[in-house]
Amino acid sequence: MKSIFEGPALRLIAAAIVVVNGFFPAVWILLTSLKTETELVSKPITYLPDNATLANYVQAFTSQPLLKYLGNSFIVAMASTVFSLLIASLAAYAIARLNLKRRQLILTCIIASSMFPLVTLLVPIFETMRTLNLLNTYTALVLPYVVLNLPVCTLVLVGFFQSIPKDLENAAMIDGCTRMGALWRVVVPLAAPGVFTAGILAFVNAWDEFLLALSLNSNPNFRTLPVGISLYQGEFSFPWPVISAALVVAIVPIAVLIALFQERVVGGLTQGGLKG
Amino acid sequence: MSTHQEHPVAGTTTWDRLRDPSEKTLGVMLLAPAFLLLALIVVYPIGKLIWNSFFDLRLSGGGEARFVGLENYALVLRDADFWNAAGNTVLIVLITVPAALVVGMGLALLANLPFKRQWPVRLALLLPWALPLAFAGLIFAWFFHSEHGVVNDVLRRLGGNEPQMWLLRPNWAFAAICLTIVWKTSSFMALILLAGLQMIPKSLYEAAEVDGATKWQQFWQITIPMLMPSIIVALIFRTITALQTFDIPYTMTKGGPGNSTETLAMLIHKTTIDYLDVGYGSTLAVCMFVLSLLVTGFYLKHIGKNA
């Protein structure tokens, strides 16, 4: 097992396996996006593009409302992240700090809601949104996404609140702060890293969601990136070069986000996962 | 955690009480938004779902809901499409969950080596997790393209026989979908397992070394037992999400060819959103709900035994 990879050279091979496994689809789609259509259908296929071109990117933005999709994804992900954080931090503070009798039960209730298959909720949510005339609005997606993110955000934030020494809060209250004052001046600043971590997880979840976005917002003006790109239609066949360019555009924001904050993301994910 | 609570003393106006509420009032205030939202988006829909499953309710005709009792359920039991989709879903769970666990374990063991720079490996595990499932489906559909896909190109170079038309043949399409799911989900498994690996004290391995245990024995006697909590969490999580498989088959094959790769989630989506048959769609969803309850219950019972 491990003994095989003990030398430095072999360690490099181990790293290479993991890195190639993680990056090859993204790299391949990047290469594809730089090829011309004629090169793509040539046989045998080429690996590196012969004449790298950015034409597919231009076409991705002009032939389809890619910018609109980007904007929709951003608005929906951002709004649902802000609301989940707001609601989850209130709940998490209550669970972590207050002297409540059934705190474990309350936390279990919130987490259990993530056990329900989303697709079973889809049917009544679709019907309700249709009745309320909310299909093809941002609200139709933001509301369910907030709930979708509530469990993981609450879990991460409970952990963070519990790690802040209670004495700090008590000291502030002795110095004349009210409970709310202590919360705002002491707990909120100290919990900021936790809120940020939970926020990234919520943002990625909302950015990636497909089933609800496909079912509730089918109007091109309200499509998010995954829906918009998967419904790209060429005149004759699936336009792979343009799709690849659009995919690269859609992956870059999320890749930058996780590259910048990878340690936080890993911490949040494993904390959320291990305590669930 | 004990708290000494000071109730507001002088001049208790409403404002004072809001600024310095009692423990219980504050608790209710803080938890209310979360539970209101859960009631609106989870509890109410579940109730509505069960209610609707007893009705003939089609949004397309504009007709009224007609109470049909258990008729929808009787239809489900005789519905070949339902059994096909249920079979496919269970098969996807049985294939991809263990496979993702094994691959994820391999990745976690490799990533746990003492590298000088951690970030390339970490990023390589995070990227597949952060990639939308729908994108993974699209990218792998391109990989498995019969004419211009890289998979068949490699096979042509290796073999010589004309390779498979992956996504156009039922069993091969199913295999391609399973491969894609395993690639997409094994990284998350690896992240969870890696966190577990890093919590195992080094001294355990040193002691085993002194006692002359081989690496293989150390893996089975130390790593696996110590990792059990992480493995169980990862398995539960993965199973629940695998039962809901939708994005990857939808973007790769739309359930085809025929309905050979259609999952339960896809059947429910098609019935409700495309055919607007809310009554029957609800019944299918209740059946799926029961299925996932059974699976979760099975796991919890198993963990109960382990713990």
Closest CA to B127 of B136, B115, B140: B136
Q: Within a domain: residue B139? A: yes
| A contacts of B30 (beta carbons < 8 Å) | 90-91, 93-94, 98
CA distance B171 to chain A (A): 23
Closest residue of A to B21, CA-based? A179
* Arithmetic mean of pLDDT, B54-73: 78
Closest CA to B200 of B276, B114, B112: B112
Q: Which residues is B55 bridged to in the sheet? A: B67
| Res B247 pLDDT > 50 | yes
User: How far apart are the C-alpha atoms of B182 and B187, rounded to whole Å?
Assistant: 9
User: How far apart are the C-alpha atoms of B266 and B247, rounded to whole Å?
Assistant: 9
Q: Which of A48, A120, A131, A257 to mutate to test the interface with B (most CBs of B within 10 A)?
A: A120
User: How far apart are the C-alpha atoms of B235 and B302, rounded to whole Å?
Assistant: 12
Specify the CATH number for the domain of residue B163.
1.10.3720.10
* Arithmetic mean of pLDDT, A51-58: 82
| A contacts of B114 (beta carbons < 8 Å) | 11
| B contacts of A90 (beta carbons < 8 Å) | 29-31, 33-34
Domains held by chain B: number? 1
CA distance B192 to chain A (A): 5
> Predicted confidence band at B83 (pLDDT cuts at 50, 70, 90)?
very high
- Does A48 contact B at CB distance below 8 Å? no
B67 φ/ψ angles, rounded to the nearest 5 degrees? -70, 125
Facing residue for A22 by CB, picked from B41, B127, B282: B127
pLDDT tens by residue, B158-170: 876 777 778 888 8
Dihedral angle of Cα B294, B300, B305, B307, to the nearest 10 degrees: 170
Angle formed by the axes of helices A262-275 and A240-260, to 10°?
80
- Do A211 and B289 count as a contact with CB atoms less than 8 A apart? no
> In this predicted structure, what is the pLDDT of residue A159?
84
Q: Within a domain: residue B70? A: no
| Res B183 pLDDT > 90 | yes
> Predicted confidence band at B8 (pLDDT cuts at 50, 70, 90)?
very low
> Predicted confidence band at A264 (pLDDT cuts at 50, 70, 90)?
confident
Q: Within a domain: residue B1? A: no
- Do A25 and B136 count as a contact with CB atoms less than 8 A apart? yes
CA distance A152 to chain B (A): 12
Facing residue for A210 by CB, picked from B29, B196, B247: B247
User: How far apart are the C-alpha atoms of A143 and B146, rounded to whole Å?
Assistant: 41
- Does B60 contact A at CB distance below 8 Å? no
Q: Within a domain: residue B141? A: yes
> Predicted confidence band at B246 (pLDDT cuts at 50, 70, 90)?
very high
**In angstroms, how far is CA B2 from the centroid of its own chain?**
38
pLDDT tens by residue, B225-237: 888 888 888 888 8
Q: Which of B26, B116, B282 to mutate to test the interface with A (most CBs of A within 10 A)?
A: B26
- Does B296 contact A at CB distance below 8 Å? yes
> In this predicted structure, what is the pLDDT of residue A237?
66
| Res A72 pLDDT > 60 | yes
- Does A179 contact B at CB distance below 8 Å? yes
B236 within 8 A of A112, measured Cβ to Cβ: no
| Res B18 pLDDT > 80 | no
Q: Within a domain: residue B99? A: yes
- Do A127 and B265 count as a contact with CB atoms less than 8 A apart? no
CA distance B29 to chain A (A): 9
> In this predicted structure, what is the pLDDT of residue A5?
56
> In this predicted structure, what is the pLDDT of residue A275?
43
Which residue in this structure is represented by tokens 């679709």?
A126
> Predicted confidence band at A74 (pLDDT cuts at 50, 70, 90)?
very high
User: How far apart are the C-alpha atoms of A9 and B194, rounded to whole Å?
Assistant: 22
SS3 state at A23? helix
CA distance B45 to chain A (A): 5
B246 within 8 A of A210, measured Cβ to Cβ: yes
> Predicted confidence band at B112 (pLDDT cuts at 50, 70, 90)?
confident
Q: Within a domain: residue B8? A: no
- Do B142 and A22 count as a contact with CB atoms less than 8 A apart? no
A244 within 8 A of A56, measured Cβ to Cβ: yes
Domain borders along chain A are: 55-275
Facing residue for A122 by CB, picked from B6, B216, B269: B269
- Structural domain span for residue B185: 80-306
> In terms of CATH, what superfamily is A55-275?
MetI-like (1.10.3720.10)
Residues 6+ apart with CB under 8 A from A47: A31
pTM of the model as a whole: 0.87
More confident residue, B114 or B304: B114
Facing residue for B124 by CB, picked from A11, A18, A266: A18
CA distance A64 to chain B (A): 17
User: How far apart are the C-alpha atoms of B223 and B202, rounded to whole Å?
Assistant: 11
| Burial (CB count <10 Å: 0-12, 13-18, 19+), residue B96 | buried
User: How far apart are the C-alpha atoms of B24 and A201, rounded to whole Å?
Assistant: 30
Q: Within a domain: residue B37? A: no
Q: Within a domain: residue B88? A: yes
- B:100-139 residues touching chain A, CB 8 A cutoff: 107, 109-111, 113-115, 119-139
